[in-house]
A and B are shown apart, each in its own frame.
Chain A
Amino acid sequence: MRPDHALPDSPEIDLGPRARAFRAELRAWLAENRPDPAAASESPGAVRGSAALEAWGEKLRRAGYLCITWPEAYGGRGLSGVEVAVMNEEFARAGVPRVTRGMGESLVAPAIIVHGTEEQKARLLPRILSGEDRYCQGFSEPNAGSDLASLETRGVVEGDELVVTGQKVWTSWYWDATMLFCLCRTDPGASKHGGISYVLIPIRQADGSPNGVTFRPIRQITGQKHFAETFLEGARAPLTNVIGGLGNGWAVTRTTLGNERGGSATTQHTAFAAEFWKLVDALRARGRTGDPVVRQQLAWAYTQVELMRFQGLRLISSVATGGDPDASASIHKMFWSEYARRFGEIAMNLLGAEAMIRDDDGRLSRWQASFLGSRSHTIWGGTAEIQRNIVGERVLGLPREPEA
């Protein structure tokens, strides 16, 4: 971790000739091409934002720096997680935002590439790449959380369309989305995992009129509204938008999980490191860093962030020599999400009484936001308990729980 303090430099990881060449290419390109400063201040990975960020995204697209893990035939560069890691590192080093196509790029496209027909690839992938189609997710339901396969949303074939009715929940990025990638039950007579289909539903019809998809924002414990409930009332999608064929949706969801293949391994810790040093600064300003108890907790937190960096370096070293990053994904999720939660608690504890009070404008302080926001990390994308099941069963080979 390289904070604003004089710590010794870490040795750079050698990821092999292809990654070296890609790094050199990126450095040369970034030296010549800079975004409008207005774009640089936006959050990395944003799908859409200001005009400046849009323009920067377009520039990256023309240069071939969007969706680089997709096959070349569909506008990508056929690169691996190692080059994604290099890209994240170099963009961070240059202080410019990396633009992604969000869940369309990382979740929907891999499903289309693996399970889609040639017609679907040719039609749908360019629209993700251009930013024309922006996806949000319709998987979880009020009665299907960790047990996703128990979902009840129905899909009925009518002519050459699928008509979808039901309710989804925890839909993030809903405010910006044009498409919903959705799981629904198309064969109620089939087995639990059998009758599920994976379908891409337009949020509006071609003429702009509603398509039976409405969002109701959910207020979270932070007061923000980043999620919505999604109501599907006869929402229509052409059957050509069913990926992998009717009834094959469960298998398709499995591939969507393997997205960037370790690409964030070497950069994910940087945000946690920045947060850590901000807490150190806050405690220094209050004259608290001499307290042995405070020092123990800070050293512990520093250790966890460094462990995240070491884990990432070891993962990417392994991927660069042919290893499979998927096995460690759940371990990684357990580690960072539970650290984030603990860090939020530590920050509140170390700041003491003042952490009970919001900022003057009534908003959450940075530390309150971190404390509250981090509670979601051990829930979304598979709870901490589900991650432990996955690690136990798929990594350690322990027997599954018998079906109820």
Chain B
Amino acid sequence: MNLAPTPEQEDFRRSLRRFADDHFDAKSVRRWMAGDMGFDPVLWRKMGAELGLQAIWIPEAYGGHGFGFVELGIALEELGRRLAGGPFLASAVLGAGAILNAGCEERKRALLPGIASGETIACLAVSEPDGCWEPGALATEARAADGGWRLDGVKSFVLDGHVADLVVVAARLPGTGGEEGIALFTVPGDAPGLSRTLLPSLDETRKQARLALDGVQAEPLGEPGRDGPALVKTLDQAAIALACEMVGAAQLVLDVSVEYAKTRVQFGRPIGSFQAIKHKCAEMLLSVETARSAATYAARTAALDSGEVPIVASLAKAHCAEAFFHCAAECLQIHGGIAFTWEHDAHLYLKRAKSSDLLLGDATFHRERLARRIVL
């Protein structure tokens, strides 16, 4: 293992950045955020056709490109810079991850190629109205009926749940508690008994939905009742993926702030020559650099499927979230009044930062998990 990117990974990053700069400009991002879908389906298909992004992490046996988690992390970072990607995190990371980790061979062969090509948009429904990402807190119930399975419960804060073609639902068997009895199922987005409501999210660049399941017919991914570890692993991987995404966004707000500090003149000199501003920028760089180290290391451990993943995932999620928020908040402060306006992009990053902190469990939640995982 080496934490420096390979020349191939550098090339990959460059071509992704070009694509993101060309297609995910602020104007487009604002147009999509004003709509219900939150993205452009034509561009989503282009992401698949030109870059094969949705396929990046899925093994070749299931129609993917079989790159590792490191490349996935690079993709997320570059998309994160631009608050872009539509349902990429929901489909290519959370949905695909749950299927990869829990699915039996047959179901993986059936479901993953569609996600890899971008034709199927998947999502993962774990959290419920109480907003807890702890598998033990699941209340949605799966009962065996008519030789199949039916799900009852309410899911909330489901990324892109309102547009997904395929919903992976985390539920539990009747009479079970804690991490016992957890089961992962798939449900078509238009299944009878499934009602989906788009939530008015604070971060409008990332859509969330509430899904009510009323006796919805569902197909198991693996072995109902034994999917707890697969769900935990999926959430750990997602935490690392989100950490990578946050690093990209944090770097961008740092870059923008430094540029502004160099050019904005007050009292006859660039504000970046004042220590008050210069020191803020230095502290932002420290946040970005440590966040990058955490996310890079975490992505490497995920690529190796190392035993360190559970610890590093929570560590990286908590730290990168705080680092990103720090940078987004200082970006607003350094820009001053102009950044409090709707037309300036600083608020988009501030909202993304706070939402990303709360998504998949906030920093306090992850530090408690970390404490448990280092046997405190």
**Contact residues of A with B, CB < 8 Å?**
5-15, 280, 289, 292, 295-296, 298-300, 302-303, 306-307, 310-311, 313-314, 317-318, 320-321, 323, 328, 331, 334-335, 385, 387-389, 391-393, 395-402
Contacts and interface: CB of A to CB of B under 8 A. Distances in A.
Contact of A299 (B2, B258, B306, B370): B370
A12 B376 CA distance: 25
3 closest A-B pairs by beta carbon, nearest first, are A8-B307, A392-B278, A299-B367
A398 B319 contact: no
Given A11-B306, A396-B258, A387 B282 contact: yes
Contact of A396 (B281, B301, B367, B376): B281
A385 B279 contact: yes
A238 B262 CA distance: 47
Contact of A399 (B273, B279, B312): B273
Nearest to A11: B1
B68 to A, nearest CB: 13
Given A8-B307, A399-B270, A392 B1 contact: no
A254 B308 CA distance: 41
B92 interface: no
B290 A307 contact: yes
A331 B304 contact: no
Interface in B307-337: 307-308, 311-312, 315, 318-319
Contacts of B367: 295-296, 299-300, 303
Interface size class of B (residues with CB under 8 A): 35 or more
B281 A296 contact: no
A387 B286 CA distance: 11
B281 A398 contact: yes
B2 A13 contact: yes
Contacts of A9: 307-308
Nearest to B319: A303
B31 interface: no
Contacts of B297: 310, 313-314
Contacts of A328: 289
* Chain B at the A interface: SS class: helix
Interface string B218-262: 000000000000000000000000000000000000000010011
Contacts of A400: 273
B296 A310 contact: yes
A15 B4 CA distance: 10
B368 A397 contact: no
B282 A334 contact: yes
A26 B108 CA distance: 48
A303 B363 CA distance: 11
Contacts of B307: 8-9
B368 A296 contact: yes
B285 A307 contact: no
A396 B285 contact: yes
A321 B370 contact: no
B107 to A, nearest CB: 29
A317 B278 contact: no
B1 A12 contact: yes
Most chain B beta-carbon neighbours within 10 Å: one of A8, A14, A289, A298 = A8
A398 B286 contact: no
Nearest to A307: B290
Contacts of B272: 392, 398-399
B374 A314 contact: no
A391 B288 CA distance: 13
A196 B300 CA distance: 49
B375 to A, nearest CB: 5
A7 B277 CA distance: 41
A266 B371 CA distance: 24
A306 B283 contact: no
B197 interface: no
Contacts of A280: 376
B145 interface: no
A314 B4 contact: yes
A8 B306 contact: yes
A5 B375 CA distance: 8
Interface in B261-302: 261-262, 269-270, 272-275, 277-279, 281-283, 285-286, 289-290, 292-294, 296-297, 300-301
B42 interface: no
A388 B290 contact: no
A397 B258 contact: yes
Interface in B76-97: none
Contacts of A300: 367
B364 interface: yes
Nearest to A334: B286
